[in-house]
Amino acid sequence: QQQVKQSPQSLIVQKGGISIINCAYENTAFDYFPWYQQFPGKGPALLIAIRPDVSEKKEGRFTISFNKSAKQFSLHIMDSQPGDSATYFCAARGFLKTSGSRLTFGEGTQLTVNP
Amino acid sequence: DTAVSQTPKYLVTQMGNDKSIKCEQNLGHDTMYWYKQDSKKFLKIMFSYNNKELIINETVPNRFSPKSPDKAHLNLHINSLELGDSAVYFCASSQRTISYEQYFGPGTRLTVT
């Protein structure tokens, strides 16, 4: 119930192409769906987040598409650049009675953008 | 200005030793977390503190003990280190009400030999 499934595990895209990473969840009580970006040797950093009552959110070249009925959401990176090469994590925020809110992360996608 | 800092960045130690990792945040957040990232990069929450109170305590061995002396600090002490403890440990912080927006430290790479 608390799991978030992410695919693909790795993705190679040419510069200027579109990178698409997908995530699926089961728990309908999740209330926020953030994406984090992690460069080698660094901690993850919030990239963009969406609420389940919104179908799409765009920030610059990054767009989240959200399909509530299918319980899926995806990250689209338009005009992918070599500097976008990083590991991307989807996540979902859920609440437990005993411990309040927590983020559950997907398994991560290693994105490589070739010049 | 460093938002979330951790020390040390690298920690190499032998099995059976005890070690500590320190974390500090200067963002004024009320909630702090410890995550473990394994060799496959999977991120798993270990502990969470809100206003110095432990609110998340995942199923981690008792050898791991967090301590929060104040809202800005969260330390992790590990007793009797084992080979399987080798990982990158991340501290993070957030405001409790905006807990999907977490700020991560640079990580501490722990290697147990």
pLDDT digits (tens, 9 = 90+) for B88-107: 999 999 998 888 999 999 99
Question: What share of chain B has pLDDT > 70, as a percent?
Answer: 99
CB of B66 within 8 Å of a chain A CB? The answer is: no
Q: What is the mean pLDDT of residues A32-60?
A: 96
> In this complex, do B104 and A102 lie within 8 Å of one another by their Cβ atoms?
no
Q: Which residues contact B90 (CB under 8 A, 6 or more apart)?
A: A43, A44, B6, B34, B35, B36, B37, B43, B104, B105, B107, B108
What is the DSSP secondary structure assignment for residue A26, as one 8-state letter?
-
Lowest mean pLDDT among A88-92, A98-102, B1-5: A98-102
Task: Report residue A1's pLDDT band, with 50, 70 and 90 as the boundaries.
Answer: low
Strands B108-112 and A62-67: unpaired
Per-chain mean pLDDT for chain A: 94
Per CB-CB distance under 8 Å, the chain B contacts of A33 are 100
Tell which residue, B37, B5, B35, B8, has the closest CA to residue B23. Answer: B5
Query: Are A100 and B106 within 8 A, CB to CB?
Result: no
- For residue A43, give the nearest of B41, B90, B96 by CB distance: B90
A2 or A93, which is more confident?
A93
Q: What is the mean pLDDT of chain B?
A: 93
pLDDT at A2: 62
Tell me the pLDDT tens digit for each residue of B12-37.
999 999 999 999 999 999 999 999 99
Residues of B in contact with A111 (CB under 8 A): none
Among chain B residues, CA nearest to A50: B100
- Answer whether residue B42 shows pLDDT above 70: yes
Cβ–Cβ of B42/A46 closer than 8 Å?
no
Does position A80 have pLDDT exceeding 60, yes or no?
A: yes
- Measured in degrees and rounded to the nearest 5, phi and psi for residue B50 equal -125, 120
Residue A30, burial from CB neighbour count under 10 angstroms (0-12, 13-18, 19+) = buried
Burial class, A71, CB count within 10 angstroms (exposed 0-12 / middle 13-18 / buried 19+): middle
Closest alpha carbon within chain B to A42: B106
pLDDT of residue A29: 87
Residues B64 and B82: their CA atoms lie apart, in Å, by 11
Contacts of B90 in chain A (CB under 8 A): 43-44
pLDDT at residue B2, as a whole number:
73
pLDDT band at A44 (very low <50, low <70, confident <90, very high): very high
Residue type, B74: L
Of A33, A43, A49, the CB nearest to B104: A43
